[in-house]
Amino acid sequence: MKRIFLSILLWVSLGGALMAQGKWTPIFNGKNLKGWKQLNGKAKYEVKDGAIIGTSVYDTPNSFLVTEKNYGDFILEFEFKLEGHLNSGVQFRSESKKDYRDGKVHGYQFEIDPGERAWTGGIFDESRRGWLYPLSKNPEARSAYIHGEWNQGRIEAIGNSIRTYVNGQLCADLIDDATASGFIGLQVHQVKDASRAGLSVFWRNLRICTDNLEAERLKNIPQITQVNAIDNTLSEREIKDGWKLLFDGHSTKGWKGAKNDEFPNQVFVVEDGMLKVLKTELRSGGLITDKKYKNFELVVDFRITPGANSGIKYFVNRDEATGAMATIGCEYQILDDQLHPDGAKGVKGNRKLGSLYDLIPAAADKPYRSNTFNQARIVVRDDHVEHWLNDVKILEYTRNNDMWQALVNYSKFSDIPEFGNAEMGNIYLQDHGDEVWYKNIKIKEL
C-alpha cells in the first residue's frame, strides 16, 4: 500500500509539473506548405530537406509566406539561415487587409539582417510605423547572429510584452499594444539589385506554444533597454527607472505659457492624444514646463507638416528675463529642411532639423523619416549635451568653456551674456505659427 501511495503521489506531482508546462506544436510539417499561403510579392517558396526555402526574385515586392491561422499570445521558436546579403524577417501578429494599402502585409517583424548594420533580432513594424526596437538600443546583441549558419530565433509575445532572442541572447524588449493577434509570416525581401536575385533564406523547426506561457517564458534574463511604444504611458520598468511623463495625452498639467502663466489654448490644443501646435497667425510665445531641470534625459516624439518650423528648447529661464529674452535657450531645431527657408540659412546647416540652432549642425546623414513621427532625445550631464534622432546621436557638445563661447560669439546669440551656460532651466516647446504635433514627452532626471 505504501508503494502504491508513493506511486500515486509521484504521478500527481509529475502530472502537476507537466500541467505547468506549455504544449509546443509544430506550425510547419517539414514536408509541404499545408497551412500556409503566399501574399504580396512573387518570391519562390518551396520545401526541401525539411526546410522552407524562400528565394528572391528581381523587382517584385516584399513576399510573405503566412500561416492560415492567427495567433495572439504565444512563444515561437524557429531556426533560420541566409545566403549572401538577402535581408529577411519573420512576421508575427501581422495582417493583410484589403482596406489597408490594398492588402499589404503589415505588423511586427523579427528582423533578419546580415548586413553591416547587424540588427538581426530587432523589431520592425512592417509597412506601418517602421523601427520599434533597432539594435542601436542593444548593440551587444548585434553579434548574436552567425551568418551562413543555422541560427535559432525565439519570439515571446505575451500581452503587451514582446521579447526576441537570437541564439539564446535577448535582443529586444518591447512594450506595445498596436496589434493583439495576427498571422506568422516568412519574408523574402524585395531586391532591386539583379545580383541579389536567386539568393535564398531557409527556415526549419518552427514550433509554437500558446498556453502556460509564463511558465515557458525565459527567466533570469539580463536587463536591456526597454522600449515602451504605447503612447503617453509609462511601463513598470520606466517608472522603476525614474521616468516621468511631461504630457499624458489628455491634459496640459505641468505646462504654462512661456510669457505668462496662462495656457495658450488658442495656439496649443490637445487632440487625439497629441499636443498640437496650430497653424495660425496668432503667436503665443510657446510653452514651458512648470519645473526646471538640471541633468536629464528628455524624449519627445514629433511630427511636422510640410514647411513647418518649431523647436525644443532647454535651459530656458523665464523668471530671469522679460520679453523675447524670456524664451531664450539652447534649441533642438524642429524643421522641414527642404521646404522651410531656415534650412538654407545659418552656417554649414546649423539651422537644420536636429541641430543646436544657429550653433552646431546635426549630422548630415541623420535618420529623419518624413510624413510620420520621429523621436528627439536630449541628454544633459552637467556641461555635456547630446542630441539624438531616432536612436542615432546626431551631435554632442560641451558648454561653459572657451570653445563654446567662440561658437556663441559667432551666432545670433552673441549679445546675450552667458548664453547657454545656465545650471538649470525649463523645457520649452516653440510656437512658430506652423502645425506641429508632439506626444510621448518623457523625462528622467540624472
pLDDT tens across the length of the chain (446 residues): 444 333 333 333 334 444 457 799 999 999 999 999 999 999 999 999 999 999 999 989 999 999 999 999 999 999 999 988 889 999 999 999 999 999 999 999 999 999 999 999 999 999 999 899 999 999 999 999 999 999 999 999 999 999 999 999 999 999 999 999 999 999 999 988 888 888 999 999 999 999 999 999 999 999 999 999 999 999 999 999 999 999 999 999 999 988 788 898 889 999 999 999 999 888 778 899 999 999 999 999 999 999 999 999 999 987 765 555 668 999 999 999 999 999 999 999 999 999 999 999 999 999 999 989 999 999 999 999 999 999 899 999 999 999 999 999 999 999 998 999 999 999 999 999 999 999 999 999 99
Q: Which residues contact 39 (CB under 8 A, 6 or more apart)?
A: 63, 64, 65, 66, 96, 103, 105, 185
Nearest to 292 by CA among 424, 446, 418: 424
List the CATH code of the domain at 22-228.
2.60.120.560
> What ranges make up the beta strands (E) of 169-321?
169-175, 183-188, 200-209, 227-228, 243-245, 255-257, 268-271, 274-277, 287-293, 296-304, 309-316
3-class SS of residue 366: coil
Q: What is the CATH number of domain 236-445?
A: 2.60.120.560
Please enumerate in sequence order all residues whose Cβ is within 8 A of that of 182, keeping only pairs 6 or more positions apart, or say none: 70, 71, 91, 92, 93, 94, 95, 107
Residue with cell 560669439: 409
Model confidence, pTM: 0.85
> In one letter, which amino acid is 237?
R
Contacts of 33 (CB under 8 A, 6+ apart): 45, 47, 52, 65
Domain residue spans of the chain: 22-228, 236-445
117 close to 209: Cβ distance less than 8 angstroms = no
Instruction: List b or e across 373-406, with b for residues whose CB sees 16 or more CB atoms inside 10 angstroms.
Output: bbebbbbbeeeebebbbbbbebbebebeeeebbe
Q: Quote the cell numbers at residue 216.
A: 515557458
Same fold, 22-228 and 236-445: yes
Map grid coordinates 533570469 to a residue.
Answer: 220
User: Are the C-beta atoms of 338 and 309 separated by less than 8 Å?
Assistant: no
Q: Is 262 helix (H, G, I), strand (E, B) or coil?
A: coil
